[in-house]
Structure 1
Amino acid sequence: MPHMKRAPLLTLLLALGTPAADARVRLGELLPAHPWTSPDREVLVVYSHDCGDLGDLWGAVLSAGLPVRAVNAEDVPAPAPRGVNVWRGPEATAFARALRVGAYPTVLLVQGGRVLNAWEGNFSGDLGLGR
């Protein structure tokens, strides 16, 4: 049997079309079911108890001037800033997993219930709002 050379483009297309075990949040997707009414644009922070000090992250998202939602996943309560309503419990963890969050914390910029942008574990504080 002759040795077949792999077609790099075909390999790439197959890899892109196959959901990976470590699939990530996808831009443009609708948020999974959640208990709040989504405004036109909002920031969603999905975090767990083992994220460390999130003071700078909370400061950055709160200063954006958009509604902020917090999802405390993985069933261990962790604090959020005063005034931020936190969703906790098994449903919150199921929400994070349905989003395919790959790293905590994950910051999502959401518009019309769809993920506009996502930062998984590496949020720099810039939501790209062009202000």
Structure 2
Amino acid sequence: MPGMKRAPLLTLLLALGTPADARVRLGEPLPAHPWTAAEREIVVIYSHDCGDLGGLWGAVLAAGLPVRAVNAEDVPAPAPAGVNVWRGAEATTFARRLRVSAYPTVLLVRGGRVLNAWEGTFTGNLGIKGPG
């Protein structure tokens, strides 16, 4: 998707000598968050400079799973009507604890653990069939 930008944290980690493959890890539990977890859910972590996310929002909303929006990096950016957005320092900390390397990042979560992750590469296919 055009307009995807590396997270500022990745640049900092590279400068500090941290391996470039510091990415969201499958199977990891989500860090602390303000929502009540569902059995399966989608978490979208994005920033203000991601460009047009209309296609991404359309795809994740069409999946029929609960969608959690995390607006990281302290600059408010909109989400579709009806999607609650978590913003502020805690939202940015959430993204950094997950080791997000690019925005937007889309997570498919099952039982509170990351089942699949797309960091800056989401094509609209979650690889799931129907809710449940």
With the length of structure 1 as denominator, give the TM-score of the two structures. Answer: 0.84
Residue equivalent to 2:92: 93
The superposition leaves residues 57-90 of structure 1 with CA deviations (integer Å, 9 ceiling, x where unpaired) of 0000000000000000000000000000000000
The superposition leaves residues 4-45 of structure 1 with CA deviations (integer Å, 9 ceiling, x where unpaired) of xxxxxxxxxxxxxxx625500000000000011101000000
Gaps of 5+ in 2: 1-17
1:1-131 matches, within 5 Å, as 20-130=19-129
Secondary structure at the residue paired with 1:61? helix
RMSD (CA atoms): 1.1
Give the structure, 1 or 2, with the largest relative contact order (CA under 8 Å, sep 6 or more).
Answer: 2
Gaps of 5+ in 1: 1-18
Residue equivalent to 1:8: none
Q: Which amino acid aligns with 2:115?
A: L
Report percent identity of matched pairs.
Answer: 80
In structure 2, C-alpha distance between the alignment counterparts of 1:32 and 1:49, rounded to whole Å = 22
With the length of structure 2 as denominator, give the TM-score of the two structures. Answer: 0.83
In structure 2, C-alpha distance between the alignment counterparts of 1:45 and 1:94, rounded to whole Å = 15
Once the two structures are TM-superposed, the CA of residue 130 in structure 1 deviates from its matched residue by 3.3
